[in-house]
A and B are shown apart, each in its own frame.
Chain A
Amino acid sequence: MKTDFEKRYQRAPLHRPAEKVSARVRAASEDLAARLHKQPDRLVSLPYYEELFTTEKRKKELQILNRKVVGTYCYFAPEELIYASGDVPIRLCSGHSDTITTAEELLPRDICPLVKSSFGFPILGDGWIDACDVIALPTSCDAKTKLGEYLADYLPVWMINLPKIKNYDGLKEYWLKEIKLFLHKLEELNGKKVKAPELKNALQLLKRRAELYRAMYELRLAHPLLLSHQDLLMVVQSSFYDDLPRWINQTELLYNEMKKASATGKYAAKGKRLMITGAPIIWPNFKILNIITELGSTVVADDMCAGHQRLWDYAEPDEWTLEGMLEAVAARYIFPSVCPCFTTSYDRIDKILHLAREAKVDGVIYHDLRLCQIFDMEKDLVVKVLKENQIPVITLHTDYGQEDVEQLRTRIEAFLEMIL
């Protein structure tokens, strides 16, 4: 299988299977699932999604499935193309803190916890990466750019050369080429060409997912507690792993249940309506959300790449020719992205202002993941503009560890007292 790293120099892949660490990883998922399970008045369709995180069912299914599994990172790996090729995308971005120490044997300490956490899994020989045939890795930030060479020790890696400047005319041609190159790699992997009808199906499948998410989002604006934000992120993030048609069926059930439950009127927001922006909050690193819930407030919106952003946008081709669809796929990943890896934060600021306005938030929480420089550097202007718009905002500078929960609680509680 082709890889972007031709191995001129070799590093022996590090394998450190550790049952203790793996057990801690499982326990973290189970604890969170149990915690979510105990939420009052929780909808009955939700335990389905927990299973994807707490059991190995889906992983085993993937291993016996006669389809190639493409591990992806970030917002930018084009899912449409992977589905059109008949393959399955699995997102490898992880929120487990327990694998970080494992990864630090190879990776430097001072890099983003998301990258370290995800890289712990191949070393452990555990997690979703076990089921993957190849990894698609966009060069979205410095850590991801360099992660490819490390991952290449374990699996073939395809890097996706992500541009950094959103300049319409120049970028769309360049990025379309990159998308076509990715499609070509997929075609080589599967030994067959992707035809327009297949791509059309994939586009429509993902559009269906987006429409479903949008419907849920709109329902949640008035009744945010239909799904606590933890549950919402769980539902969103389970779509990265589940069989998508099945996920859509299940989520349609969930949506119908939400619609019915909204009529009871008991799912209005409690306490303050908050919005989370910034670095992704990935299962099971829901500590901030849990603190907010404990303090009696409600998160009603987010703009995260592992949350709202990932499912909101879809490819909308002007014409359903192969070229037209590829153009739409290319545009869909770059232009609406609010990832701070692009040179300007303006698009992201607009997005936050819009969500804050639409969801009528009382305050914004800026989740600043330690050692994620790009989110940190965008913070200043984002915070300034939000304050100019009379939207209170607080920055939480934290990582995947649990040791600062009390400090975070104090900050969030003080913030909630402040916006009284």
Chain B
Amino acid sequence: MHTITYIRRGVQILSLTFLFYGATLLHLKPTEIKWYAMQENSRQATELLYGNPTWTQPFQTFLPARSCRFAGTHGTFRGCLMFFFSDILTWRPPLGVVLPSLALVVVLMVMLARFWCGWICPLGFMSELLYEARKYLGLKRIRFSAPLRNLLKAVGWGLTFIILFSAWFISWSAVAWSIKKPLYLAVCQMCPSKLITPALTGFPIMINLTFPGASTTLLVSLFVVLVASTLLYFSGFILKRAWCKICPLGVILSFFNQGAFLSKEKDLIRCTKCAVCASACPMETSTVYEEKTKKYVNHSQCIHCYRCVDLCPEKKCLTVKFLGLPLFKS
């Protein structure tokens, strides 16, 4: 029973170990990344020199999304997909240099879409552990209401836009350093992983509310967002996968959920409309239940956890297919 969930848990444990502790365990040396904030000696920004940018490291861009740079020297990869996109927008490398990595990323996204979220992402896995703990304690779960879900979706879009826009904005030399500094890798400044990943890997947590020459107002505002998003993350204890509902990386991947190679199909006639799928969805989408005329049931926010397929009481009603090949069946 519930085979898919068991398989998934196994994959999640493996990927967390690999992404967070892989470098230590496998004696790998992840390439150092230099970036603005680390130029503390001179207390100056080196806008021209950028050693080992992400796009020169194909190994690091092998996954559409990777572990967090705050996993420090323990992690296998440095920096997630948002890091990668932000870097490209900020440094605007020649297309020829960035194209292979970019192409690989796009191909993987087209193939797997948000599969990352449900099976690989260590943050997502840990937030699932949060609600597993609550289940164990027998505490009541709270569901997001439909308006709140829509609001969170809008917030996610907003965040994604701000992150990508600010990355592009600071690439202009006319922009003042006081703005450039805080907004550099704005994604990391707001991401709960900045606090959670170091806590797990022993990497120092870095919070600078003041920085020479940088706008304190901006730094503090970003910190407020960080606190809010971390709180949202931990509210995953009673609200399933709360952070995942606004995660900017998820927003980008979600564009590929429709029409990805990995796809979920429903036998419309066999389905008894029992809505078990809707109640099982950790992202609280109800497309699998609501869709009654088309066999493809891929919601943009689906994290491919296949909990719906796992719990569906009707044999062969839901099928997960990769390029038409069935992987899992209910």
The 0/1 profile, CB within 8 Å of A marked 1, for residues 272-295 of chain B is 111110111000001001101000
Q: When the two chains form their complex, are residues B311 and A354 in contact, meaning their CB atoms are under 8 A apart?
A: no
Binds B, one of A59-67, A263-271, A313-321: A313-321
Number of interface residues of B (CB under 8 A): 25
User: CB-CB < 8 A to B275: which residues of A?
Assistant: 168, 172, 331, 334-336
Which stretch of B45-53, B56-64, B89-97, B138-146 is in the interface?
B138-146
Q: A318-B280, A357-B269 are in contact. Are A332 and B311 (CB under 8 A)?
A: no
Annotate A174-200 by CB proximity to B: 1 below 8 A, 0 otherwise.
000000000000000000000010000
Does A48 lie at the interface of the complex (its beta carbon under 8 Å from any beta carbon of B)?
Answer: no
Most buried by A among B135, B146, B279: B279
Report the separation of the CA atoms of residues A70 and B163 in the bound assembly, to the nearest whole angstrom: 60
Q: Kindly state whether residue A350 has any CB partner on chain B within 8 Å.
A: yes
- CB-CB under 8 A from B278, the residues of chain A are 168
Q: Number of contact residues on A: which range applies? A: 20 to 34
Nearest-CB residue, chain B, relative to A323: B140
Q: Which residue of B lies closest to A320 (CB)?
A: B135
* Residue from B146, B270, B289, B292 in contact with A354 in the complex, judged by beta carbons closer than 8 Å: B270
Complexed CA–CA distance, A331 and B313 (Å): 13
Given A168-B290, A319-B135, A346-B292: A331 and B140 interface contact (C-beta under 8 Å): no
Q: Which residues of B contact A322 (CB under 8 A)?
A: 138, 140
Closest Cβ of chain A: how far from B63's Cβ, in Å?
Answer: 29
B268 CB–A CB distance under 8 Å: yes
Asked if A144 is at the interface (CB within 8 A of a chain B CB), the reply is no
Q: Are A318 and B279 in contact (CB under 8 A)?
A: yes
A328 within 8 A of B: yes
- Whether B313 pairs with A321 at a CB distance below 8 angstroms is no
Which of the residues B268, B270, B271, B279 comes within 8 Å of A331, measured between beta carbons? B279
- Interface membership of chain B positions 129-151, coded 1 if the CB is closer than 8 angstroms to chain A and 0 otherwise: 00000010011110000100000
Q: Which of A169, A324, A336, A353 contacts B274 (CB 8 A)?
A: A336
Given A169-B146, A346-B292: A323 and B273 interface contact (C-beta under 8 Å): no
Please, which residues of chain A bring their CB within 8 A of the CB of B276?
316, 318, 328, 331
Q: Does A242 contact B (CB under 8 A)?
A: no
- 27 interchain pairs, CB-CB under 8 A: A166-B273, A168-B286, A168-B290, A169-B286, A172-B275, A172-B279, A316-B274, A316-B276, A316-B311, A317-B279, A318-B279, A318-B280, A320-B135, A321-B141, A322-B138, A323-B141, A327-B279, A328-B276, A331-B274, A331-B276, A331-B279, A335-B274, A335-B289, A336-B274, A350-B269, A351-B272, A357-B269
Mark A residues whose CB is within 8 Å of B: 166, 168-169, 172, 196, 312-314, 316-324, 327-328, 331-332, 334-336, 346-347, 350-351, 353-354, 357
Closest 3 CB pairs of A and B: A336-B274, A335-B275, A336-B272
Given A168-B275, A316-B311, 20 further pairs, Cβ under 8 A: A169-B146, A169-B286, A196-B138, A312-B272, A314-B313, A318-B276, A319-B141, A321-B138, A322-B140, A323-B140, A324-B141, A327-B279, A328-B276, A331-B274, A334-B275, A335-B289, A346-B292, A347-B272, A350-B268, A350-B271
